[in-house]
Amino acid sequence: MTTTGRPARRRSGRTARPDGRAWRFLAPFLLVYVFAMILPILYAVYQSMLTVERSGPTGLGKPSIGFAGLDNYALALDQTAFVESFARVLLFGIVQVPVMLLLALVLALLLDQLPDRWAGLLRSAYFLPYGVPGVIATILWGFLYVPGISPIGEVLGEFGFQPDFLGYDNVLWSIANIVVWEFAGYNMLIIVAQLKSIPQELYEAARIDGAGPWQTALRIKIPLVRPALILTCVFSIIGTMQLFSEPLVLKKIAPAVTQDYTPNLSAYFDAFANANMYLAAAKSVLLAVAAMVLSFGFLSLVNRKQRSER
C-alpha cells in the first residue's frame, strides 16, 4: 500500500479496508445490523411509496395496493399539523437541550470538587431518574401536574397561584421538565467520565500558575470536556426529534397534546390508530432525514469551528 497522494496529517493506525479476518469478527454484528437496521429502513422507504386503492360501494370493496411514488410525502407535508410538529420539537430542543446540558455540566463540575465518598453517593442519586423508564416517569409527573390532585398546585394555590401545568401553552414545558429530570443525570455522568480522564498534572500546573477553582473550571475543565458536551448534545438533538413516550402518556390527561404533537406521535397514530402504514412510513422517513440533517449539521458546525480555531 502506498501513501502517496494521501493527506500527510492522516491519523495513523487505520488502514483503508478491513481484511478477511476483520470481516469474520464483524460478521455477527453486520448480520444483526443488516437484518434489524438496514433492511427495515429499506422496507420503510419502499412502503412509503405505496398506497391502497379502493373500489366498490363507498369504498368498502376489496382493496388493492398500488404504487404512489411520492404522493405520501406530499400528503404528509400538506398536513399543517405535521409540519407544525417539527417546529414544536425544534422550539423544545432550542430551550430544553441547553438547559439540560448546562445543568448536567454544573452538576458534574460540582461533583468534581467534592470528596470521593460524597461524590459517589450524589452521582448515583442524580443518575437514578435515568433508571426510571420514561413512561413511568411521565405517569409520576402526571400526578404532580393534574389540577385537583397535584400537591404542587395545592401549595402554590395557598399563595394565590393557579398554575395549569397541562394547559395549552404550558404543557410543552411540562414535558421539557420531565425530560430534563430524566436525562440531566445521564448526561452528567458522561461529562464526569470525561472529567476523570483529565490528567492531574494539568490541575497542578494550573495551581502553580495561581488559578483558583473558578479559573480551573472555566479555563481547563470546560474546554477539555468539550467532546463530551458535543456527544451529549448530538444525543439530545436526536432524542428531541424522536420525542414520543412522554407526550403519548400525558395525552391521556392533557387534551392540549394533540395526535400530531410531535412528528413521531403523528407517524405512530397514522400507522396504528389510522391503519395507514404507508403514510406513516413516509412520515418516519421525513423524520429520520430531519434528525440526520440536524445532527450532522451540528457536528459539521462545531468541527468547522474547531478547525478554524487551530
Choices 22-30, 112-120, 191-199, 222-230 (CB under 8 A): range interacting with another protein: 22-30
Cα 267 from chain centre: 17
Q: CB-wise, 52 or 222, nearer to another protein?
A: 52
Q: Max CA-CA distance within the chain?
A: 87
How many CB atoms sit inside 10 A of residue 2's CB? 5
Choices 36-44, 108-116, 195-203, 284-292 (CB under 8 A): range interacting with another protein: 36-44
Restricting to residues 168-187, which ones interact with another protein according to CB under 8 A?
A: 168-169
Candidates 78, 43, 74, 93; CA nearest to 262 is 93
Contact pick of 57, 115, 210, 223 for another protein (by CB under 8 A): 57
Q: Do 188 and 104 touch, CB atoms closer than 8 A? A: yes
- What is d(CA 222, CA 193) in angstroms, rounded to the nearest whole number? 13
Contact pick of 32, 64, 135, 218 for another protein (by CB under 8 A): 64
Restricting to residues 130-169, which ones interact with another protein according to CB under 8 A?
A: 143, 146-149, 167-169
Q: CB-wise, 126 or 269, nearer to another protein?
A: 269
- What is d(CA 102, CA 96) in angstroms, rounded to the nearest whole number? 10
Restricting to residues 197-236, which ones interact with another protein according to CB under 8 A?
A: none
Considering the rule CB under 8 A, would residue 25 count as an interface residue with another protein?
Answer: no
132 DSSP assignment: S
Restricting to residues 264-293, which ones interact with another protein according to CB under 8 A?
A: 269-270, 272-276, 279
Region at 3 (left for phi over 0; alpha for psi -120 to 50; beta for the rest) = alpha
Cell numbers 421539557 correspond to 176
Listed in order, strand segments (DSSP E) in the chain are: 50-53, 64-67
Binding mask 73-112 for another protein (x = CB under 8 A): --x-----x-------------------------------
Whole-number Cα distances in Å, 121 to 64, 76, 114, 288: 61, 49, 11, 38
Instruction: Using CB under 8 A, list all residues that contact another protein.
Output: 23-24, 27, 30-31, 34, 39, 42-43, 46-47, 50-54, 56-60, 62-67, 75, 81, 143, 146-149, 167-169, 251-253, 255-256, 258-260, 269-270, 272-276, 279
